[in-house]
Amino acid sequence: MGRLLSFLILVIDIIVIIDIVKSNKDTEKKILWIIAVVFLPVLGPVLYYFLGRRT
């Protein structure tokens, strides 16, 4: 069960990073969001979809 959850978090992180790279944001904002997703693998994608996609 733990491996499945870890794999799911990894897949979600990769999807969010791809979404960040394809966005129209400034390069600095993209880098900051990618760092947030990498260092906060569970909270980073949640924060991005609630806060980052609007800006």
Confidence of residue 28 (pLDDT cuts 50, 70, 90): very high
Contact call for residues 48 and 33 (beta carbons, < 8 A): yes
Give the pLDDT score at 55.
61
Confidence of residue 1 (pLDDT cuts 50, 70, 90): confident
* Span 17-45, average pLDDT: 95
Q: What are phi and psi of 47, to 5 degrees?
A: -60, -40
Give the pLDDT score at 49.
93
pTM: 0.89
